[in-house]
Each structure stands twice: as structure tokens, then as C-alpha cells.
């Protein structure tokens, strides 16, 4: 017959709950009594022999002396539990051994955590909110108030790895759902916990880029590079290295774009002409503006393939740029001209077509080039 529910929490500092009361042993006379309770809670599914307990807690003592110390500690443990309102019979004596009384309904946070992570590792789908709950359940290293006990090390490392696996799955799901800020926050904790996991840095940097926090992304790579070199004498892997160099190039292009946009001389005669990589970067900036300010712009291409262009395409590009406004952007290549018409919509298509017709007349084109116009909003 059940005697009530007994909950043990070991993900972080250890405590137990019974009947609405929380007991952490902070006011107990004997710390060894609490450590003994922790060991029995960890091994609650079996009877732990007296000899094993003596060997774990009093390895320097002979068996008889160790038994005496164990019995005294069991007495102090039961008395301390009673003072804190927990029945002393949760510690059960079974011929030549001790155990947690199985008449109680026993629950442990570490077994709950391990069971759910096992489901993840087997490929079972777990909802995002449930993953977040598991993250909260893991308050820190297993039995964190016992740092140097050998009997904890295997369990601690296993649960630590489970926690890192959880962060990996959780942040991957958050990133795919475009929740980049949450991705960064959870990965920040993961990197603090294990600063050597390259896959954490990789997704962390990608999420920072999505948030427009380019400088932080670059600094995070440098932090990873420094830690790996100093601690493990390793360099970041190829994938992380490639991402870093793409981000750095992107930042350099952005700075060049901003310089060009702020240089009034570039706009005195119409649209700015730029290389295609800068054109792409400006396109990305315009997309951000659209999302942030709810405005629109026109993306347009002019294809001269099949037209008898009487001048080089770069000369045609210069002539078209002169007909556009300052603030419009133009690039060219492969007999095509590409245009970004800043803060313009298809409502203004008449103006666009008039400019296009004027352009064709000035170049004396017998056959008009094909055009493609898209409003981005």
C-alpha cells in the first residue's frame, strides 16, 4: 500500500520533497547523513549492502569500524528526516542492507530527464514546449553539492551529455521555426556549459547573423578559435571556418555599401552603379527595410540577349543609370542590367515604362530588350 509520493531532485543541488515539504539538509548536524541519503536515492531500485556503503563512505576504516560509523549515520539521517517532517521509515533496513522504502511512490528528476532524452535520441518527436520544460528541469550538474565523489562521476557525465543533446535538438528546432533570439539565448547557455562544442558555435553564429548581429557573430567565431587553440590545440572545422569567412565578407560588403550610399558624389548623375556582389547585399538591406518599415521596392532586369545592342552593356548601363533617381541601384553582367528602384511600386509602372522607352530610343534599338518587373513588399 502506497505511503505517499517521495520526490528526489538531483539535477543541480540535491533536495527531496514529501507532503509539500522541501528538505535539502542545509540545517542537518551531519552532512554525511545527507550524502548517504543521496546515495540511497540514486540506487533506490535495489538494496545496497552494508559493505558497499562502508566501502563508499568510510574506505579508510576496517569493516567493523565502518559498520559502527554507518549505523550512527543512519540514526542521524532518520532523526534529521523526522525533524524536517519526513517519515524516518523512508530509510528501510533489509537484512544486511539499506534501501529507500518501496511502499512510497518514488520519483526522481534525473530518471524523468533521462527517459525523455532517450526518446529524443531514438528519433521520437517531442513538442517544443516540452523540450523547454526539460531544459528548465536540468538546474545544473548532477548532485552539484557533491563535486568530488567518484561514485557520481559516471552518472554526472552521462546526464551532462544528455543535457547538451537536449540543447542541440531544442535550438535546431527553434532555428528552423525562425525563433532566432531564443536560439541564441539557449545556445549561449550551452556554450557556457561546454565551450568546446563547434556545432553550438556554428548555429549560434548563424542565428546572430539572422538577427543582424554581425559583430557578435564574428567575435563568437574568434572566441571559439581561441578556446580550441588554447585548450585543445585545434582549429575550427571547415564548415565553421567557411561560415565565418562568408560573414566577414558580408560585413565588409555591407560597410562598402553604406560608404557608397553615404557618398553623395555617387548619386549626382542618377542611380549608383555597383558590382553584382554589392548589388546583392543592397538587395538584402532593402528586404530588411521592407519587413521593418512596411515599404516596397521594384526589382527589375533588362535582358539584351536577342537585341542588337549597338554599345557595350556597361555603356548602356551608364545611360540607364543617368535616367534614374539617386537612391536607385544598378548592376550589369552577361548582357543584362539589374535594377533596384528604391521605394517604388507597380502603381508607378507607367513612369517605369516611360523611362524604359526613352532608354530604348536613345540607344536606337530596333528590337526592345525583354524586361522583368517584380514588386517586393
Per-residue pLDDT band for 359 (boundaries 50, 70, 90) equals confident
254-270 residue pLDDT tens: 555 555 545 543 434 57
191-209 tens-digit pLDDT: 999 999 999 999 999 999 8
pLDDT exceeds 60 at position 172 = yes
Confidence at residue 1, expressed as pLDDT on a 0 to 100 scale: 43
Contact, 74 vs 91, CB < 8 A? yes
**Which band of pLDDT confidence, cut at 50, 70 and 90, is reported for residue 280?**
confident
Whole-number pLDDT of residue 34: 95
Q: Are 111 and 47 in contact (CB under 8 A)?
A: no
Q: Which ranges constitute the DSSP H helices of the chain?
A: 31-42, 50-57, 63-83, 109-121, 128-137, 150-176, 180-193, 198-210, 214-227, 238-262, 276-293, 313-323, 349-362
The pLDDT, as a whole number, for residue 343 is 82
Q: What is the pLDDT of residue 266?
A: 40
Mean pLDDT of the chain, nearest integer: 88
The overall pTM is greater than 0.85: no
Q: What is the three-state SS of 74-133?
A: HHHHHHHHHHCCCCHHHEEEECCEEEECCCCEEEEHHHHHHHHHHHHHCCCCCCHHHHHH
Q: Which of 53-57, 91-95, 294-298, 347-351 has the lowest mean pLDDT?
A: 347-351
Q: What is the pLDDT of residue 264?
A: 41
Residues near 246 by beta carbon (within 8 Å), at least 6 away in sequence: none
Q: CB neighbours of 256 closer than 8 A, spacing ≥ 6?
A: 278
Tell me the average pLDDT across 216-239: 90
Which helix (H) or strand (E) segment is 302 a member of? strand 297-303
Q: Which residue has the cell 548555429?
A: 203
What does 13-64 look like in DSSP terms, one character per residue? Answer: S-EEEETTEEE--TT-S-HHHHHHHHHHHHTTTSPEEHHHHHHHH-TTS-HH
CA–CA dist 194, 192 (Å, integer): 6
Residue 16 pairs in a beta bridge with 8, 23
- Residue 254 pLDDT: 56
Taken in order of first residue, the domains within the chain and their CATH numbers are 5-108 (1.10.10.10), 109-250 (1.25.40.10), 269-376 (3.30.70.270)
pLDDT in tens, 13-30: 999 999 999 999 999 999
pLDDT at 303 over 70: yes
What pLDDT is attached to residue 268?
Answer: 45
Amino acid at each position: 500500500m502506497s505511503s505517499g509520493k517521495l520526490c528526489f531532485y538531483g539535477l543541480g543541488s540535491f533536495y527531496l520533497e514529501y507532503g509539500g515539504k522541501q528538505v535539502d539538509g542545509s540545517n542537518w548536524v551531519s552532512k554525511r547523513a545527507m550524502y548517504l541519503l543521496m546515495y540511497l536515492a540514486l540506487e533506490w531500485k535495489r538494496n545496497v549492502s552494508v559493505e558497499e556503503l562502508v566501502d563508499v563512505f568510510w574506505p579508510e576504516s576496517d569493516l567493523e569500524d565502518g559498520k559502527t560509523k554507518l549505523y550512527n549515520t543512519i540514526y542521524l539521517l532518520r532523526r534529521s528526516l523526522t525533524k524536517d517532517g519526513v517519515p524516518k521509515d523512508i530509510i528501510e533496513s533489509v537484512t544486511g542492507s539499506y534501501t529507500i522504502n518501496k511502499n512510497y511512490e518514488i520519483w526522481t528528476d534525473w530518471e524523468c530527464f533521462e527517459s525523455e532524452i532517450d526518446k529524443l535520441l531514438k528519433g521520437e518527436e517531442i513538442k517544443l514546449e516540452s523540450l523547454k520544460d526539460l531544459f528548465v528541469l536540468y538546474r545544473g550538474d548532477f548532485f552539484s553539492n557533491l563535486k568530488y565523489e567518484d561514485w557520481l562521476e559516471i552518472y554526472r557525465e552521462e546526464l551532462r551529455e544528455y543535457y547538451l543533446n537536449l540543447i542541440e535538438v531544442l535550438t535546431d528546432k527553434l532555428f528552423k521555426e525562425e525563433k532566432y533570439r531564443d536560439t541564441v539565448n539557449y545556445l549561449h547557455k550551452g556554450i557556457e556549459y561546454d565551450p568546446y562544442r563547434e556545432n553550438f558555435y556554428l548555429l549560434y553564429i548563424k542565428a546572430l547573423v539572422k538577427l543582424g548581429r554581425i559583430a557578435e557573430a564574428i567575435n563568437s567565431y574568434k572566441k571559439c578559435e581561441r578556446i580550441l587553440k588554447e585548450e585543445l590545440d585545434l582549429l575550427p572545422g571547415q564548415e565553421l571556418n567557411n561560415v565565418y569567412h562568408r560573414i566577414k565578407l558580408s560585413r565588409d560588403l555591407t560597410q562598402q555599401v553604406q560608404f557608397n550610399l553615404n557618398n553623395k558624389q555617387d548619386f549626382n548623375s542618377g542611380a549608383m552603379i555597383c558590382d553584382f556582389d554589392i548589388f546583392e547585399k543592397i538587395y538584402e538591406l532593402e528586404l530588411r527595410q521592407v519587413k521593418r518599415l512596411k515599404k516596397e521596392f521594384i526589382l527589375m532586369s533588362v535582358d539584351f540577349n536577342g537585341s542588337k545592342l549597338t554599345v557595350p552593356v556597361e555603356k548602356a548601363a551608364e545611360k540607364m543609370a543617368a535616367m534614374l533617381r539617386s537612391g536607385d541601384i544598378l548592376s550589369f553582367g552577361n548582357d543584362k542590367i539589374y535594377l533596384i528602384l528604391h521605394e517604388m511600386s507597380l502603381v508607378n509602372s507607367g513612369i517605369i515604362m516611360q523611362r524604359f522607352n526613352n532608354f530604348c530610343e536613345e540607344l536606337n534599338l530596333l528590337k526592345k530588350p525583354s524586361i522583368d518587373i517584380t514588386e517586393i513588399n
